[in-house]
Structure 1
Amino acid sequence: MIDPGAPDFDHTPAARERPRFDYAPADDAPPAVSIVTPLFNPGPELEETAESVFRQSFQQWEWIIVDDGSTNPVSRARIEAQQARDPRVRVLRHPENRGLSAARNTAVSAARAAYVQQLDGDDLLEPTAVEKSLWCLESRPEFAFAKGYCVGFGAAHYLWRRGFHEGDAFLRENLVEPAAMIRRDVYLAIGGHDERIRDGLEDWDFWLRAANHGHWGVTIPEFLNWYRRRPGPHRGWSNLDDRRRRRAFRRDLRRKYPRLWRSGLPRPAGADATLRDEVPWTNRLRKTKPRLLVLVPWLTAGGADKFNLDLVTELAGRGWEVTVAATQDGDQSWLPAFASQTPDVFVLPHFLRPADYPRFLRYLTVSRGVDAVVLSHSLLAYLALPYLRAHCPGVAFVDYCHVVEEDGTEGGFPRLVVDCQGLLDLNIVSSSYLKQWLVGRGADASMIEVCHTNVDVGAWRPDPAAGAALRAEVGLEDGVALIVYAARLCPQKRPLVFAETMRRLRDAGVSFVALVAGDGPDRPALRAFVRRHGLEGRVRLLGPQPPHRVRRLLQAADVFFLPSRYEGISVGLFEAMASGVCVVGTDVGGQRELVTPDCGVLLPVTGDDRDAEAYARALHELLGDPERRRSLGACGRARVSEQFRREQMGDRLVTLLAEARRRCETAPRLALPDGLARALAAQAVAGVRSSPITGAIDPYHTSWRTLAYFAIRNLLLPYYRFALARGWLWPARMKDALKSALDDSRAARGGALGRLRFHPTVRFLASLPAVRAWRRRA
C-alpha cells in the first residue's frame, strides 16, 4: 500500500518487492465476486493487472475477460495465456470492437456472482481491495457501489482522494474512474453502461444514471486501486480530452437527468444495523505456514503501536503469515508501515459498521486458518472474546498488555486482563511489575508470562557523524547541551512538567537547547508556556517526526528526558539507550527493569512542582559532567544490546505462542453457548459505539461518576482550553482532582479528594440533565 507521506509510484501492487501472503483458494467454492475486464489489443501491462488479480486476499472470484474484437495476434495470445492460467478465468469474445460499455455489459450479463468488480486491462488493485469493497457493501446495504481512493501512476503521478462521498460534486465533473465494485442487480436494473457512448466518460453517465434511479456509492478511505496514466491525450476519448466536448457532454447529462440538478444526488442513510451472525462467504485460503491474527485499536504513532509493528515484523521474518485488524477509528497514519510487512491489514471502521465487527473477525479467523489470535489493547477484542471463542474452536487466544493506567480507571486494560483471564490461553505482559500488579488483583500467575518490548539495536545506534550533522543543522554551538523530549504531548507524558523543568534549568544559568518531537492535545498548552516564560530560544517544538528523524535527534542528544506520569516501559527509553544516550525518566511501572543506576536516572512521582525541581537538579548535574553522561550512555547501549534486542523479543514470542497453542490443545478454555456468545458480542458492539465518550477513562463502563466526569468536561472544555492557552497550570490540576474525585474506588476510600464529590459546585454539575440521564443509563 502506498505511503501518502512518502509515495513510491514504482512500488505497485504487482511489484516483486511487495510483502507476500499465500493467497490461494483452499477449495472450489462458487464465486462471490465477478471481476470484469474489457480488453482490446492489450499490451504487456495485462500481466501486471493479472498479477494484482491473483494476489487478491479474497479468492472466491471469477475473472471475466471480454476480448472486444482484438486484432493483434500477440494481444490475443496474452488473453489466452490468462485463460490457461486458472480455471476461474473466463474469456468472452466480440467478433468486432463494440467499445468499453458493450464489453462491460457483456461481462456483467454473464457474471455468476452478486457483486461485480470493474477493472480495466492496464490498471491494478491493492491485495485487499476486493475483500474490503465486498464487505463494505455487505455491511452497508443502502449503497449500490463502493470504491477506495486512487493512485495515478505511469506517465503521471498523483494521489486521488475524491470520490462518492462528495455527492453533488459529480454534477460538475466525474470524480472517479471505473474501478468500483457494483451490485450486479443494480447494474442490470438501470440498464448497464450506455453502449452509444464510445468517446469516453461513459462511467460518468453510469454513476448519474444510477443516482437517477435512487442509487449511490460509498468511498473507502484507503488507496485501493492504481490507475495507469499514459503520455499524451487519451486515445479515442475526445469527451475527456476536448474541453468543448466535455462541456457538451455535461449539458447532455443535465438534459437526461434533470431531477438530479433540481434535487441533488441520493444521500443513503441506512439505519445502524443490529448484530448479524451469518458469514456470507468462507474464502478459505490455502495454508502452508503458521498464521497469526493481531487485534489492535489503531495503526497510529505510539509506544504500544510501535511494539505491534515490531511484533508483525519479527513474526513475518520467522515464517509466520500475519493478519492485522484495527478496531477503532483514528488517524491510522501507520497503515502503510504495517502494510510494508504484511498485505493482510484491515482497519474495520474504514469499511464496516460496528455491528459487523464481530462476524468479520470470526470470518478472518476461519478464512485464514488462524493458529493464534493476539489481543493488544483493543477494547472490542476483549469484549468480543466470548463470541470468537465460541465460533473458533482450536484457536489459541493470547493478549499482550503494556501498562497500568494510573488515571483513576483501576488500571485500564490490565483490569480487563484479570476479568477475561478465564477465556485466554495465555497472558503476556511487558514487565514483571505488570505481572505482579495482575497477580495482586486476583490473576493466576501461572497464566502470565513476561516479554519485554525491546528495540532494534541495528536501527537505533550511536552515530557521531549523524549527530554532529544534526547539531549543525539546528545551529547548536559547541558546548551547548542538547536535551531531547520525544513523546506524545498528552497528560501521561507531562509536557508541562518538562517545560517547568526547562524553565528552572534556564534560570539556573545552564547552557542548553531542548528539542521536542511529538504532537498531541497538550501541544497548545506547551507552546503557550514556552512563550509566556520566554523559552523560545531554549525549547523548540518540532511537531511530529518520522522515526528516521527521531533517530537522528537521539544520535545528537546529550540527554533524553521523559517525565511520564505512568508507563509500562517507555519505548522512548529503549530507543535512547540503544542510541547511547543518557536517560532521565520516572520510576514508574517496569522502567527500573530496563534503566539501572549505571545507565540512567529514574525519579519517583511526587507532584508536578516537586518533580520539576528534582528533575532540574538531576539534569543540572548531568549536563555539568560530560564524562558521567558518556559512561551512562555507553552502559545503556551495552545493556539493551545484551538483554533487550528486538530479535530476542521475537524469539520469546514464538516460544510463548507455541505454549499457548499447546495449552489450547491440552486444556481448552471455556466456550460459551452460541446464543450467549452472540448476546455478549452485541454488548461488545455497544461498548465500541460508546468508547469515544467513555473509553479513555473507563473502558468497561462501571461507574456513573465516569460519565459525570465527561459531562462536566464537555461543559467546561472551552474555558479549560482558553486557560491552558494562556499558560495557566491550575486548570489541569483541578481537572485531575475532579477526575480522581469522581472515581469509584478513590471516592469510596474518602479523604480530601473523596470528599470533593460532595462540594456544592460538583453536586450542582452532577445535577445537570445530561449527567442525570447518563447516571440512569449506567
Structure 2
Amino acid sequence: MKFDFDKEPGKKLLDRNLNADDVPLMSIITPFYNKIRYFEQTFNSVMNQTFPWFEWIIVNDGTTNDEEVKKLKEIASRDNRIKLFHQENSGQSSARNHAIRKCSTEIIVPLDADDLIEPTFLEYVFWGLYFNPDASWCYTDSLGFQDDNYEWKKEFSSEEMKTNNILTCTAAIRKKDLLEIGCYDDSEKHYDEDWRLWLMFLSKNKYPVHIAQYGFWYRKTQHGMATQVQKNIELSKKSAKIIKQVADRVRNDIRAKEYPVKNGESFIKPENINWSRKVFKNHNKINVMLLIPWMVMGGADLFNLDIVRKIDKNKFEMSIITTLDSDNSWKQLFQEFTSEIFELSTFLEIENYSKFISYFIKSREIDVIFLSNSYYGYYLVPWLRKEFPNVAIVDYVHMEEWYWRNGGFARTSGALGDIIEKTYTCNEKTRKVIINDFGKNPKTIETLYIGVDKEKYYESVVEENLAKKSLKIEKNRPIILFPCRIHPQKRPFLMLEIAREIRKKLKNIAFIVVGDGPQLEELQQKVSEYNLTNTVYFAGRQNDMRPYYKDSDITLICSLKEGLALTAYESLAMGTPVISSDVGGQSELIDNEVGAILPLLQDESEALDSRKFSSEEVMSYVIAIEEILGNKERYKSMCKLCRDRIEQKFSSDIMIKRIEGEFENIISDEYLEKRQNFSKLLKQISFFVDDYMTIFLEYENSEYNCEEIWKSKMWFENLYNDICCGFGQNGVYESKISADGNSLEIQRRLDEIYNMRTWKLIEKYRRFMDNTIIGKCIRKIFNFIGLG
C-alpha cells in the first residue's frame, strides 16, 4: 500500500484527556523565527503525543512581526507544559542552546517550528534510549513533505556521515552528552548545525539508536535553513569547511543500534517493569489492547481494522501492539481510528517486549487484552495472567491449520485452557476442533462471525465495467474471480486446471486473479506455458475489491484451508455467487442457494503445495460453474439471495454489537474473581510460568538461526555451482575444475566461507544442540511441547 502523504500529523487537535500534570521526563526545544504560518500544526502534533510527560521550551529568536509574536504567546498559553522565552535574533543554534539551558529533564528533543512528529514519536524514542543506556541519541526514519514528498530510510553509517548528512535535526538526545560536546556551535548563524552536532557525537565515539519507524516529518520549503545554505555558494563553502573540520576526527566503524534486531539474548525471562504513571486523567472507558502480529492486507487484519473502526469510541479506548517484523502496510488505515499503535520489533529486542507490554498495561490501565494470531502473545499469556490478575484476556481464532505447528493458533489457544477466559472463532467448525482436539472448555468458546460492511459492499454504489475496462476484457465475457494471496494454501494451480477445463466448454470465459504472493510469478509463467494469456488475467493487489466483484459472475475459492473467507462475505454482499471448497466454516455461509460447496479431495496435512489434482475434483468445479451460469433465471434469483443472506445474519455491524457486549461482560465481577484465582495459582509456579516464555524465545531464536542456515545453504550451493560447475564450450553442464586447475581460487573462496559469521553460527549452533547437556534438554523440551 503506497504511503499517503496527505495524512500529516497535527491537522487537527485531539481531545484525549491525557494526564499531563506529572513531572516531565523529556524536553522538546524549538527555536522560533517568523514561522507562525505552520506553527499551529506543529503545536497540534506535539499536543497529540501519546507520551504526555514532557515540557516544551520555545525560544523566540527575535521574530520581526509583532502579530506573529502575539499569536505565538497565545498558542504557548494553551498548555502549562509550554515555556516561552525571548531573545534577540542570534540564529537557530543560539536559540536551541538557550532552550537547553532552561530544560529540567535529561532527554532533549530538538523540533523546528514548522516540522511535525507522529503521535507516538516521543514514546518510541524515550524507550529507545531507556533500553539502550549507553547510546547518546535515538532517532527514527523520516518523511519529507510539502515541496517534495519522499520517504527517508537509510541504514546508519559513520563513514557516510562524514560526507553526507543522512540524519535529520529531530531526535531524543541525552542532555549529559549534549553538554559534553558543548551543545550547538553558535559561532555562525547559517550552516548545517544539525550535521555538525551528530559529527561531534561521533568524534567522541558516541553512537545512536535507529528506530525503524517513520516518526518525523521534515517540511521541505524554499525558505528553510538547509535550502538557504545549499543555494548560497558562500554559505555552502563555509558550512562545508565547518563540517570537514569535525568529520576528519570521526572513525568509519561506529555503528548504530539498528532495529529490528533479529536474534535476541539467550534464556532471558519476561519482566514486569516498575511504572506508576497513568496516561489518562480518568479511567472512564473500557481500555482494550489488541495484541496482533501485524497490520497488512488480509481477512484477519480487516477484522481487526473493523473492530478499531466501528467500536463505540465513547465506551472503548482502543490500542494496538504488533509483535512481528513487518512493513505494516495498513498502518495508516488503523491510524485513522487510534493513535495508540506500537510495532515492537521497530524499537525493541524481543527479550524486552514483556517489559514494554507491562508498562503499557499499567500506563493505559488496560482492562481487556484481545489476542489474535500472535505466537509471542499466546506464549506470554500465562505470564500476563500471573502478573496482571485484573486484566481480562480473550482471543480470536480464525482457523485450525494442521500443516502448521500441528494445528496453528487453534492448538496454542486450546493448550492454554481457561487461562484465556473467552475464545471466539470465526466459524463453528473451528470451534468444535478446539473443543474436541485441543480440550477447550465448551463454555469458554463461542463462534463470532466476522461479517462484512454491508453499506460499503453494495453493488448499487459501484460503477459497472471498471474492472473489465482496466484489463481490456470485453463486456459480454463471463468472469470468474479468483481473489486471494497467491500462496499454496489457496491452491492457485488448481484454479489453472479449472480454467483449462472450463475453457473447453465456454470458449469466451475469463478468470481474473486479484492479489499477490510468493507463487505469483510461477503462476504467471504457467499461464503463459498453458497458453491461457487470453483467459487468465492478473490485476495484482487491489485496495478496492468492489469493482471486481461487481464485474464478476462467480467468485472462486478453491483453498486447501480457510477459516471463513472474507472474500466470501464480500462477494455475497455484492450479490456475486461463490463456489468454494468445503473447508473451515465455508459451508456455514455458502450453500446451493448462493453458490456451491464442493468436497475437498486432498489431505490438508499432506497436500500443501501439491500440484496433483484429481480429475474428479477439477471437474466438480467445472460442472458447478456450468450449472450456475447455464440458468439465467436461477442465477438472477441466486444473486438476490446472496445479498439477503448478508443482511440477515452476516453484517459486521452485528459482529461489533456482539463484541462490545462481550467486552463489557468480561470485565464483570464474576470473571474478575475467576482470573484473580487463576493468577494466585500461577504465582505458586512462577518460575515455571516464566520459563514457559523463555523456552518459546529460545525456539524463536533457533528458528531464526535455521532461516539463516537455510539461506546460507542456498548461497553455498550457488557459490559451489559458480566455482565448480558450468556449461562447457560444447553446451554440456560439466565441472570447471581441471587437474592442474584453479584449486587456489577454490581454496580462497572456501576460506571466505569459513570466516563468515553465518558459517560460524551454523557450527556454534550445531555444537551447542548436539554436544551439550543444555542443548539436548532443549531439543527434548521442543519435542515435548510440539516445537520440535
Any idea what SS the aligned residue of 1:433 has? helix
What are the Cα deviations for residues 345-372 of structure 1, in whole angstroms up to 9, with x where unaligned?
1111111111111121111112112221
Query: What secondary structure, in the 3-state scheme, does the structure 2 residue paired with 1:165 have?
Result: coil
Alignment correspondent of 2:573: 578
Amino acid in structure 2 at the alignment position of 1:560: T
Identify which of 393, 404, 410 aligns with 2:400.
Answer: 404
- 1:443 correspondence with 2:436: no
**Aligned residue pair count:** 707
Aligned to 2:83: 90
How far residue 317 of structure 1 moved from its aligned partner, in angstroms, is 5.0
**Does residue 528 of structure 2 align to residue 553 of structure 1?**
no
Instruction: Find 2:246's aligned residue among 249, 253, 256.
Output: 256
Which amino acid is the alignment partner of residue 137 of structure 1?
L
- Paired residue for 1:68, among 58, 61, 64? 61
1:341-490 superposed matches below 5 A: 341-407=337-403, 409-441=405-437, 442-463=439-460, 466-490=463-487
Do the aligned partners of 1:300 and 1:334 also contact (CA within 8 Å) in 2? Answer: yes
Inter-CA distance 678–210: structure 2 relative to 1 (3 Å threshold): farther
Change (3 A) 1:714 1:188: closer
Q: Deviations over 1:746-777 (max 9, x none)?
A: xxxxxxxxxxxxxxxxxxxxxx9999688774
Q: CA RMSD in A?
A: 3.1
Q: Residue 242 of structure 1 is aligned with which of 213, 232, 239?
A: 232
Partner of 1:321: 317
Query: Do the aligned residues in 1 keep the contact of 2:595 with 2:628 (CA within 8 Å)?
Result: no
- Tell me the secondary structure at the aligned position of residue 117 of structure 1: strand
Determine the C-alpha separation between the residues in 1 that align with 2:187 and 2:172: 23
Instruction: Give 1:12's aligned residue.
Output: 8
Report if the CA contact (8 A) 2:42-2:113 is conserved: yes
Percent of counterpart pairs with the same letter? Answer: 25
Match of 1:108 in 2: 100
Report if the CA contact (8 A) 2:278-2:365 is conserved: no
Shift in Å at residue 135 of structure 1? 1.3
CA contact under 8 A between 1:46 and 1:78: conserved in structure 2? no
SS for the counterpart of 2:182 is coil
- How far is the alpha carbon of 1:67 from its aligned partner? 2.7
| Residue 724 of structure 1: aligned partner | none
| Structure 2 residue identity aligned to 1:75 | E
Q: Residue 16 of structure 2 aligns to which amino acid in structure 1?
A: D
Q: Secondary structure at the match of 2:112?
A: coil
CA shift at 1:70, angstroms? 4.0
Amino acid at match of 1:687: F
Q: Which shows bigger deviation, 629-638 or 283-292?
A: 283-292
For the structure 1 residues 68 and 685, does the alpha-carbon distance in structure 2 shift closer, same or farther, using more than 3 Å as the test?
A: farther
Q: Does 1:25 align with 2:19?
A: yes
The Cα shift of 1:471 comes to: 2.1
Question: Structure 1 residues 659-668 or 488-497, which shifts more?
Answer: 659-668
| 1:78 counterpart = 2:68 | no
3-state SS in 1 of match to 2:294 = coil
The whole-number CA distance in structure 1 between the counterparts of 2:448 and 2:190 is 62
Q: Which residue of 2 aligns with 1:165?
A: 156
SS at match of 1:172: coil
CA displacement 1:442-489 (0-9 Å, x = unmatched)? 211111122100000111121496232332332222431111111111
Contact (CA 8 Å) 1:585, 1:602: kept in 2 or not?
A: yes
Change (3 A) 1:406 1:711: farther
Q: Give the superposition deviation at 1:83.
A: 4.2
**Residue 182 of structure 1: aligned partner:** 173
Q: Which amino acid aligns with 1:25?
A: N
Amino acid at match of 1:93: H
Please, which of 517, 522, 528 is the counterpart of residue 514 of structure 2? 517
Go from structure 1 to structure 2 and tell me whether the alpha carbon gap of 1:553 and 1:681 turns closer, same or farther (over 3 Å shift): farther
Q: Deviations over 1:378-419 (max 9, x none)?
A: 111111112222333322111111101131533211111111
Describe the shift of the 1:554–1:688 C-alpha distance in structure 2 as closer, same or farther (beyond 3 A): farther
CA separation of 1:55 and 1:234: change in aligned 2, threshold 3 A: closer
Instruction: Name the SS of the counterpart of 2:679 in structure 1.
Output: coil
The TM-score, its normalising length taken from structure 1, stands at: 0.84
Residues 315-361 of structure 1: per-residue CA shift (max 9 Å, x gap): 15564221011111122111111111211111111111111111211
Partner of 1:632: 638
> Aligned AA for 1:102?
S
For each residue in 1:480-538, what CA deviation from the matched residue of structure 2 results, as whole angstroms up to 9, or x when unmatched?
Answer: 11111111111111111111111222234442111111111121321222122111111
CA distance in 2, matches of 1:235, 1:713: 46
AA partner of residue 308 (structure 1): N
AA in 1 matched with 2:120: T
Question: What is aligned with 1:289?
Answer: 285
Shift of 1:296: 0.5
Q: Go from structure 1 to structure 2 and tell me whether the alpha carbon gap of 1:436 and 1:143 turns closer, same or farther (over 3 Å shift).
A: same
1:502–1:616: structure 2 CA closer, same or farther, 3 Å change rule?
same
Aligned with 2:661 (options 650, 655, 659): 655
TM-score (norm 2): 0.83
Is the CA contact 1:145–1:180 (under 8 Å) kept in the aligned structure 2? yes
| Amino acid in the other structure paired with 2:115 | D
Corresponding residue of 2:524: 527
Deviation at 1:683, TM superposition (A): 4.9
Contact 2:191 2:239 in 1 (8 A): no
